[in-house]
Structures are given as C-alpha cells and as structure tokens.
Structure 1
Amino acid sequence: MSLSFAQLLRRAGAERAAIAARRKLAAPGADAIPGDLDESLGRSRAERPGGTLLWVHLAPGVDPRGIRSLLAALRQEHRDLSCLLSCDEPSALRAACGEVPGERVVAAPIDTPAIAQRFLSHWRPDMAIWVGMDMRPALAGAALDRGVPMGGIDLDLRALPGRFRKGGARQLARFRFLLASTPPPAGLESQLGRAVERVGRLRPLQAPLRCNEGEREHLAGLLLSRPVWLAAGLRAEELAAVATAHRIASHLSHRLLLIVVPEAPEEGAMLRDRLAAQGWRCALRSADEEPRDDTAIYVADTAGEDGLWYRLAPISFLGGTLSPPAAGRDPGAPAALGSAVLHGPATAAHADSYAALHQGRAAWRVRDGEDLGRVVERLLSPEKVARLAHAAWMVTTDGADAFNRAHELIEAMLDEVSQ
C-alpha cells in the first residue's frame, strides 16, 4: 500500500524519536529501557517459541476478544501452536486480557522497511493474520515477500483510503483470504481480481461446556417428568433468597426440583444441612445421592460439572449477582447450552456478557428472592422459557459465521505450513 510523502516523513520521524528515546534511556544512570519501546523498533528480549508460530496483527480499535477466542480454539487442536499478537497498545491488551499460555503480546513495529525486516528476522512467523484495517505497507509487504502466508479478518475495506486503493489492492490481492465485516467499496473486487467474503464481525464464540454424556442421559431419565431450575455458583449468603424463590415457584408446580451448585463445593454439606433444617428434602451429590421423586433440592457440590447442569435445567439463576462484589459464572455458558439466564443486580464481573444478553432480550434481572420466585414461576411455561432460551442462544452464536469461516481458513493454512 503506497504511502504519501507526508506519511513517510511521519513514520521516519517516529522511528528517529524511538531511537533517540532508546539512546537516552541507555545512558549511564538511566532507567531500564521499556520493552515496548524496543519492540517498536523490531527488537525483542524474548526468544521465538518453538513449534508453529502464528502472528496476529491487531489494528487500532479492534475488539481483541473475538480473535483471542478463535486462537484459544486453535491451540486446543494444535498443541505445538504458539501465537504472537502485535498491536499499538500492548500494555492495555495485557491488562485487559491477562497473560495467556501460548500467547505473547508485543508492540507493533514502526512501519519502515528496516524495522519490518528486523521484526520478521527475529520472530520468523510461519503464518500471519491481519485483524482489522491498518495501513502498514512495509510490514505486510516484507512478510509477503518472505513467503509468509497471510489472511485478513474483520476487514472494513471502506477504511482503505481512496488514494491508496490501487496500491492497497495489489497488496491485498496477495493475501490467502479476505474476510470482510462490511461490503467492499464499488470496484475494489475487480481491482483485487478476486471476491471478498463478507461474513460480518468476528466476535467471541462461547464454546459449550462439556459434560459426561452418559451421566446426562442417566439424570435426564430420572428427571424426565419433573420441571427443573438451577442456581449455579450460589454463595452461602444467597441461599435464603433462592430458597424463598423455590418456595414461591413450587406453589405452581409441587414437583419442581431446584439444583444448587455452590460457589465453593466444600460448602455443599453445610448448605444441605441448612436447607434440611428449613424442612426441605435434599440430596447431596458428593455423597453419591441422586434426586428421588420426593427430593425438592439437589445440592450438586462436585466441581467441573456446570455443563451437565446447564443441559438439564432450562432455567439458570447465576449466583454471585444478588449483592456486591459481583462474581459468579459467565452468563454466556448457560446461554450457549439453551438455558434461560436469570441474575441479580451485581453483574460487573461479566458486564459485557450481560449487556449483550439484555440487548438481545435474552436475560432477566431480578431484585431479590421473591422477585426471583415470581420469574421462575412465570418461566415454568414451556413456551415462555423456550423464547428466552432461544434469544440467549442467538446472542451467544452471533458472529459464528465469521468465527467458523476464519477457523476453517486458518486450519487450512496450518495444514499447509506443517507439511
């Protein structure tokens, strides 16, 4: 993508400023040179990881959650895969997403030919993905000239300035694939000599939690004729509210079963005892007990089985949300498995997920135990709970087309570079 003379001057000025800052910091008595500054010059103190290295460059303003969700799925299937993420604000990305095994976040190198070559010589990526539109012709061109297979995801090709359209098209034409979030400008596809796939925005895709299918079938058989709802990640201080809700909802359906998953599994026996003291017939999973016909509350105090309970319960109340500090499970997990999501007012721990569900009219906020009981009672209607659960599922699968197509194309590139 050709650059204007003014842009070349700005890039050269950025490089000179970075070099001058490095020299100043390297003087005797100066503080240590920040790693991000060195990385912007194409240097790094870290060694290239072994195995296959996938380099992902994030354009400014790109939401990183979609690509990191995709990278996590790829690393589950390719154990020798490492990922290098470059962006303009690496510290902010590390702070927002934390350190992830198998990933390294670095400052994007300043876009000059010498720095691009230094960056590529150090990291030697096996393949590269450009996420979002970012005008870095020296960096992209150097990688393509080295034979690094490249693909583009989440591209808003309308952001390609008109004066760069011709040169940009020549470089984009060398990409293995182009997945656009918006329709390409008129005439661009003819300049590229290829079609651009419009698949929408890349968003994080909630991978369904796994469960023991044999155990699911067994418990589903036991509960076949009973309505069920779930309180997942329940704190001890929320037990009274949930018990109140269950008592209210049970007036409509006396065979209603509540499954309680404690936030702390070791509190299971204590919660069971407190419920039994209130007159509830309970069973405890850690004691190898099963829900019988007369069991009103089943305390599922075994860790790592959320996927089982979300599949069995069409209604899930997420604990840790009735009072601050906000905690609890990610609401995307039950939504992805077709369970309607109920929650209290304290949702800061998963604010984005809850906001997306409410925007899609796919979750229900309750104030207290009585409010929760009335909502559960209302959702015992199969038609009503099905509508809410379907809306939640639609929200969690939004972006699946982009996710699945990108996954398919990157898999093909991985197969190619591994041969």
Structure 2
Amino acid sequence: MPVLAWRLWREGPAQRAQRFGQTENAAPVWVHGASNGELTAAKPLIDALLDSDPKLRLLITCNTVTACAMVQSWALERAQVQLAPLDLRWVLKRFLRAVNPRLLIVIENELWPNRMAMMQARGGAVAVVSARMSEKSATNWARLPGLASQVMGLIDMFCAQDAASQARFAALGVDKSAIGPIVNLKSRTAPGAFDKALFDAYAQILPRDSTVLAASTHPGEEAIVLDAFKTALEFRPDLRLILAPRHPKRSDAVAQLIRERALSFTRRSRAEPPGKQVFLADTLGEMALWYELSSLCFVGGSLVPKGGHTPFEPIAHGCVVLHGPYLENYAEPYAALDAAGAVTRVASAKDLTQSLLSLDTGARHHMAAQAREVAGELHAPDRLKPIAAKLLKL
C-alpha cells in the first residue's frame, strides 16, 4: 500500500482518476497488458482483432504511464488507451459501468481476482492469452488451492505460451474446455518503434559491430557483465557497452559498480550522449533503440535466478542473443534457439568475455538469421486470425 500511495501521489490528477475507474472510453472489448513488453507483444493480436471486425472498438489498459504513451504512439483507429483501474470492487464497479465490456482479454499473467469475477458476474467473458507460469509460481499458487481454483475457474478461453505453462495452469484449475492452442505472442514480436533521429545521432558514435547491449539486468548481473566487458576491452578497445538495468531506479547503484571498475561512462537519464566505454541506459521505453544500436545482446534475468526475459525482442532487431542458465520463464523458446545454435549460453564472466571476443561479423550475421528463422517457425503470424475470431465469439 505505501508503494501504491507513493505512485498515486506522483501521478497527475488525470492518471489518478483513471486508476480509480473514471473513464469515458466505452468499448465492447477490453484488452489489458501490464506494461511495454506485454503490449508490444500483443500488438499483432490487437491488429488481428481490429481487422476481424471493422466496427470493433477496443479499450486497452496497462499499469504504467510509459506503456500508455507507447500504445498512443501506435495511433490505432477504434482503440483507446488508459491506465488500468485498481482491483477494488467499488473502483471496478464504476469502471465496468462506464466501459460496459462483454470481453476482457488478459495478456500473459495479469490475473486480478476482482476484475475477473466482476466481469463474469456481469455476464462477460474472460480470456487469457500468451500466459506463462514457472514451476516456482505454480508452487506458490498451489499453496492456496482454494484461491487458485476460484481464479482459474473464471477463465473462459486460455492460451498458454508453452506446453509446460499450459499443464501448470490446468493443474491449478483452468477448465479443459477453456484451453486453446499454444500462443506465444512474444515470438511474433516485430521490431519496436524508436526515435530515428536519435538513432542516427547515436549510430555515429556507437558502431553496431562493436556495440554490446546488456538488457534488463538484475542485481548480481551488472558486476558480471562489467567484469567481462572490462577484460574484453584489453583485446578489443573499440568495444562499447550499453547497460540497461531492468529497473532504472537502481541506476545510482549500477553507476557505482561502473566507477569501481574505473570504466568511463555517461548516463542517458541525464541527457548525456554515448561515447565513453559504457553508456548507462537508465530510462524506460527506449529498449528498442538500444537493440537497434547493438550487434550482441545479453538478456538479463538469466545469470541470476529470475527466470530470464524474452529473446524475441532483440532477435527482431537482428541482435545475437547471449543468455545465462536461468530460463524458466521462456524455457521452450530458448531450448529451440539453443538447439539450432541461434543463441549462446554463458554462465560466468569468463564465458561472456569469450563470447564477446569470439563472435565475428560473419558468425553474428549467421546466428541472427538463424534466430529469426527459429522464431518464425515457433509461430506463424497468420495463426492469430483464427485466435482473434474465436475470442470475438466468446
């Protein structure tokens, strides 16, 4: 609650009003995704929904202001975007009365009990698309079997990201009749939008062949990445590192790690240009730009037990993906990519240094092309059309 109060205090009155359910955006279909990553992945599904019915109107909600701005930049016809209402019954009553949706489509794991129950009580349907569940999360849910069966029983249509997640959700109570095909929206990710003028300016300073990105890093990973990078600099002094922590609020602590290694750096949050050995990308909503500038991308959350993050976004931008051993969140995609030799596994600073130095231009281009091919094979884009049609029949 203190975190929620602090966030509400920081936001403006318009944002607070949306959090408390005030809206004028009536729409028959409500699509919800947590933030930038989920909604970027959901963009092809949103397009398929709008293409399926030329009269359809959507309301898209998310949890962050940056995600709202991103969706607004898509300039979608017949779709509005706003912050999601709090999962409080009196807030949702106001929101649902104004929006009057007949269908809620949840992207990935935003399973809010009141939201789902009140949709069902109004005669609406709830669909969950591209859901994932790690073994750890399944164990936590299983400790509350009553709540798990109640929440899972509210789902009218369910599409998991992978077979393992599907089995875990089914064991927790998703009805067999609700289970649809495997749908991993993040495998369909197109290159994200980025500031072209800024890219042109930065690309003059950061040649792609010598630029490495560490994306969405967690505590414990930055030190490994920086140690590996510093060693690699002894052999490749032209290398440059873009370091993008998962949570920019940690940027001061990450900056201290850089100083301790006597590496020169600048910070994006201070509007400082790149050009030093390390560029600390401590902002939100610009990851597509960092992907586009880099030839190699270490995907964070994988050298420490966080389950890893999606490989598909960097792959869409032509990056070669490096990852650690902790991949529970995306186990099947990484297994397919590893089997094809399209990504590289690292388990230590030494491994990472070796990868930074051994992957020449030819190897990178081959691996990037192979990764795109594997991502395309995992899910063909036209499979979303029948999914969209089935959703709209609920």
Please classify the TM superposition score into its range, dividing by the shorter chain length.
Answer: 0.5 to 0.7
Does 2:213 match 1:230? yes
Alignment correspondent of 2:288: 307
User: Structure 1: which 5+ residue stretches go unaligned?
Assistant: 1-48, 55-66, 87-93, 107-121, 125-180, 182-200, 415-419
Alignment correspondent of 2:202: 219
8 A contact 1:360–1:391 mirrored in 2: yes
Paired residues in the alignment total 259
Alignment correspondent of 1:363: 343
Match of 1:347 among 293, 305, 327: 327
Alignment correspondent of 2:374: 395
Alignment correspondent of 1:372: 352
Task: Give the SS at the match of 2:363.
Answer: helix
* Greater C-alpha Rg: 1
Change in 2 beyond 3 A, CA 1:208/1:406: farther
Does 2:265 match 1:282? yes
Cα displacement (A) at 1:377? 1.0
For residues 194 and 221 of structure 2, the distance between their equivalents in structure 1, rounded to whole angstroms, comes to: 26
Q: How does 1:86-105 map to 2 (within 5 A)?
A: 97-99=109-111
Alignment correspondent of 1:382: 361
8 A contact 2:195–2:289 mirrored in 1: yes
Q: What is the RMSD computed on CA atoms of the aligned residues?
A: 4.4
Cα displacement (A) at 1:271? 1.8
For residues 231 and 223 of structure 1, the distance between their equivalents in structure 2, rounded to whole angstroms, comes to: 15
Cα displacement (A) at 1:50? 6.0
For residues 208 and 374 of structure 2, the distance between their equivalents in structure 1, rounded to whole angstroms, comes to: 29
Cα displacement (A) at 1:276? 2.0
8 A contact 2:102–2:124 mirrored in 1: no
For residues 254 and 355 of structure 1, the distance between their equivalents in structure 2, rounded to whole angstroms, comes to: 33
8 A contact 2:218–2:304 mirrored in 1: no
For residues 335 and 102 of structure 2, the distance between their equivalents in structure 1, rounded to whole angstroms, comes to: 30
1:136-173 C-alpha deviation (Å, 9 max, x unpaired): xxxxxxxxxxxxxxxxxxxxxxxxxxxxxxxxxxxxxx
For residues 344 and 267 of structure 2, the distance between their equivalents in structure 1, rounded to whole angstroms, comes to: 28
Cα displacement (A) at 1:244? 2.0
User: Structure 2: which 5+ residue stretches go unaligned?
Assistant: 1-24, 31-40, 50-57, 61-75, 81-98, 126-180
Q: Give the residue type in structure 2 aligned to 1:377.
A: L
Q: How does 1:15-414 map to 2 (within 5 A)?
A: 51-52=27-28, 70-73=44-47, 74=49, 75=58, 77=76, 78-79=78-79, 84=103, 97-99=109-111, 204=185, 205-224=188-207, 227-292=210-275, 295-324=276-305, 326-379=306-359, 381-398=360-377, 399-403=379-383
Task: Give the SS at the match of 1:323.
Answer: coil
For residues 283 and 206 of structure 2, the distance between their equivalents in structure 1, rounded to whole angstroms, comes to: 19
For residues 105 and 313 of structure 1, the distance between their equivalents in structure 2, rounded to whole angstroms, comes to: 44
For residues 205 and 222 of structure 2, the distance between their equivalents in structure 1, rounded to whole angstroms, comes to: 25
Q: Give the residue type in structure 1 aligned to 2:372.
A: W
Of stretches 313-322 and 225-234 in structure 1, the one that deviates more from structure 2 is: 225-234
8 A contact 2:322–2:345 mirrored in 1: yes
For residues 249 and 196 of structure 2, the distance between their equivalents in structure 1, rounded to whole angstroms, comes to: 25
How high is the sequence identity, in percent, across the aligned residues? Answer: 26
8 A contact 1:202–1:402 mirrored in 2: no
1:17-64 C-alpha deviation (Å, 9 max, x unpaired): xxxxxxxxxxxxxxxxxxxxxxxxxxxxxxxx964569xxxxxxxxxx
Cα displacement (A) at 1:274? 2.5
8 A contact 1:206–1:397 mirrored in 2: no
Cα displacement (A) at 1:320? 1.7
For residues 51 and 283 of structure 1, the distance between their equivalents in structure 2, rounded to whole angstroms, comes to: 45
Change in 2 beyond 3 A, CA 1:404/1:213: farther
For residues 396 and 51 of structure 1, the distance between their equivalents in structure 2, rounded to whole angstroms, comes to: 33
Cα displacement (A) at 1:344? 0.7
Q: TM-score, normalization: structure 2?
A: 0.54
For residues 289 and 347 of structure 2, the distance between their equivalents in structure 1, rounded to whole angstroms, comes to: 27
For residues 98 and 263 of structure 1, the distance between their equivalents in structure 2, rounded to whole angstroms, comes to: 19
Task: Give the SS at the match of 1:252.
Answer: coil
8 A contact 2:209–2:295 mirrored in 1: no
8 A contact 2:209–2:294 mirrored in 1: no
Q: TM-score, normalization: structure 1?
A: 0.51
Q: Give the residue type in structure 1 aligned to 2:355.
A: V
8 A contact 1:315–1:342 mirrored in 2: yes
Task: Give the SS at the match of 1:236.
Answer: coil
For residues 346 and 304 of structure 2, the distance between their equivalents in structure 1, rounded to whole angstroms, comes to: 11
Cα displacement (A) at 1:98? 3.9
Cα displacement (A) at 1:317? 0.3
1:64-121 C-alpha deviation (Å, 9 max, x unpaired): xxx97754443574427967489xxxxxxx8974449xx9799xxxxxxxxxxxxxxx
Change in 2 beyond 3 A, CA 1:202/1:368: closer
Q: Give the residue type in structure 2 aligned to 1:238.
A: E
For residues 95 and 236 of structure 1, the distance between their equivalents in structure 2, rounded to whole angstroms, comes to: 27
Cα displacement (A) at 1:333? 1.1
Q: Give the residue type in structure 1 aligned to 2:287.
A: D
Q: Give the residue type in structure 1 aligned to 2:314.
A: P
Q: Give the residue type in structure 1 aligned to 2:191.
A: P
1:212-268 C-alpha deviation (Å, 9 max, x unpaired): 222112111222376100111122322221122112322332110011011221222
